[in-house]
Structure 1
Amino acid sequence: MIIKKFPIVFGLATVMLFSQCDVLNEIASGVVNTEGGTTTSIPKLTNDEVISGLKEALTIGIQNGANLASMTDGFFKNDIIKLPFPEDAIAIRDKALELGLDTQVNKIELTLNRAAEEASKKAAPIFIDAIKGMSIGDGFAILKGGDNAATTYLKEKTTAKLVTAFEPVVKNAIETVKLTEYWNPVASKYNLYAKFAGKTEINPDLNQYVTNKGIDGLFYMVSQEEKKIRKDPTAQVTDLLKKVFGSVMN
């Protein structure tokens, strides 16, 4: 009886042994069987892939963000990025309102935003150039960071370069929307008053103001797009984005 049972036990042990080996082989190859019998591939990311994915997300982010910002009222009716009257020229605004120049003040604020919207039409290539040239060491640290970690990194590393490249675009935009035609009469009236009242004349650099505020607004738009890519699988519109950002969603 013992001899008859032995092959059966041995056979079961053999089956179990091969079954365990199969599981180990699947784990080693990055494929695991689920309870339902389906297989799930575990992506093996390299740092280079992560960096490429981050740059691709930022590129898509600025393309989408610039498109939205460059629309009519893209800045003006977005309370978060809207350009207010220049901070260092509040005295001009207050005096103009005192003199009943409400329409002129409102026109200046509107045209400041129109300048930012106009400049945004040509922002994407400038940002993309900065993104491509941006050096990233540890891509995984940014990937596993907050909702806008990549945008924050981009802002820290490229703002100075972006300001230099964006200023000529803003200058042309200001000329296109004729901002100075609305600004100069109001500023001149204030400075005439300031001269006789013993106050400091004010002549803010509108080009620099729109440049800095415009870039800040575009960074905000990129951050919103990055957050969308991180949170929403439908926003991961390329295979690389699915692989990189899908890895931190699971």
Structure 2
Amino acid sequence: MRRIFAISALSLTLVLSSCDTLNQYAGVLNQAVGVVAPTQTEMGLGLKQALEFGTNYSAERLAAKDGYLGNLAIKILFPEEARKVENALRAVGLNSLCNNVITSLNRAAEDAAMEAKPIFVSAIKQMSFQDVTNILLGQEDAATLYFKRTTNIALADKFRPIINASLSKVGATRYWGDVVNNYNRLPLVKPVNTDLAGYVTDKAINGLFMEIAKEELKIRQNLSARSTSLLQKVFAYADKQKAG
């Protein structure tokens, strides 16, 4: 009888112990789920902090040497209408000339990239609370779309003269002239005339937005990317709202 009682007592102890463990896990879970809603001020500051981090990092990364040239996703190649030029020149052994063109186009974009930082800062400062809410609770590229809408013209105006000067500085204008002249001398070809500065400006801006989209996705999906307590609070709230 005593043995049965001892076994029962042991079983009860194990059950109670298991309940305590489950209660502890439940408490942790409730803490995780019980997200405290940020104030409007915190939402604005948190989102703007995240966007400033992301845009600054993107601009700095692309402004570094090989920021464009070494990134296959955004590397600037010959204009689409000039791919036949590249193919024809490579076919007659002018690989080095074509490679010089590609390198110089990307160097020009890298020269311009840092100029994006103050333009993004200005766009961030001008956000209304409705903009903040729409971005924070919107789709995963909502911030990127906001920047495209509000900064594209300013970026083009800022980038183009820098890229134009850089194309001359790094020899792209000369290389491109050599490419076009060599191609246009080939028999039975249609002459090519590309606005090189305009092309590089567009590609540089598109590449910048691609990098910003990557940073936006990172902070929305990767908890470790939320590097401050404010970011953690604001984006945890956004996660909970989206989850319903």
Q: Give the shorter-chain TM-score range.
A: 0.7 to 0.9
Partner of 2:231: 241
1:141 aligns with 2:134: yes
Q: Residue by residue, what CA displacement relative to the aligned partner does 1:183-218 show, whole Å, maximum 9, x if unpaired? A: 11111222344xxx5654222111111111111111
**94-103 or 126-135: bigger deviation:** 126-135
Partner of 1:168: 161
AA in 2 matched with 1:157: T
Pick one of 119, 123, 129 that aligns with 1:126: 119
* CA–CA distance in structure 2, aligned partners of residues 184 and 171 of structure 1: 14
Distance 1:54 1:242, change over 3 A: same
* CA–CA distance in structure 1, aligned partners of residues 237 and 60 of structure 2: 28
Partner of 1:84: 77
User: Percent of pairs identical after alignment?
Assistant: 37
1:226 aligns with 2:219: no
Q: Residue by residue, what CA displacement relative to the aligned partner does 1:27-50 show, whole Å, maximum 9, x if unpaired? A: xxxxxx947997987433355543
Distance 1:51 1:99, change over 3 A: same
Distance 1:133 1:170, change over 3 A: farther
AA in 1 matched with 2:80: E
Do 1:48 and 1:139's aligned partners in 2 also have CA atoms closer than 8 Å?
Answer: no
Q: TM-score, normalised to structure 1's length?
A: 0.73
Unaligned runs of 5+ in 2: 1-25
What's the Cα RMSD here?
2.9
Q: Residue by residue, what CA displacement relative to the aligned partner does 1:222-246 show, whole Å, maximum 9, x if unpaired? A: 1111112222333223443223212
* CA–CA distance in structure 1, aligned partners of residues 30 and 54 of structure 2: 38
Number of equivalenced pairs = 215
AA in 1 matched with 2:144: T
* CA–CA distance in structure 1, aligned partners of residues 41 and 161 of structure 2: 34
Partner of 1:66: 59
Q: What's the secondary structure of 1:43's corresponding residue?
A: coil
Do 1:57 and 1:241's aligned partners in 2 also have CA atoms closer than 8 Å?
Answer: yes
Q: Residue by residue, what CA displacement relative to the aligned partner does 1:45-84 show, whole Å, maximum 9, x if unpaired? A: 3555434433332221111111221222221221111111
**120-129 or 216-225: bigger deviation:** 120-129
Partner of 2:48: 55
Unaligned runs of 5+ in 1: 1-32
Q: TM-score, normalised to structure 2's length?
A: 0.75
Do 2:120 and 2:147's aligned partners in 1 also have CA atoms closer than 8 Å?
Answer: no
* CA–CA distance in structure 2, aligned partners of residues 47 and 206 of structure 1: 46
* CA–CA distance in structure 2, aligned partners of residues 184 and 132 of structure 1: 42
Distance 1:204 1:133, change over 3 A: farther
* CA–CA distance in structure 2, aligned partners of residues 125 and 57 of structure 1: 15
Partner of 1:208: 198
**119-128 or 99-108: bigger deviation:** 119-128
AA in 2 matched with 1:162: L
Do 2:141 and 2:217's aligned partners in 1 also have CA atoms closer than 8 Å?
Answer: yes
Distance 1:139 1:87, change over 3 A: same
Do 1:96 and 1:190's aligned partners in 2 also have CA atoms closer than 8 Å?
Answer: yes
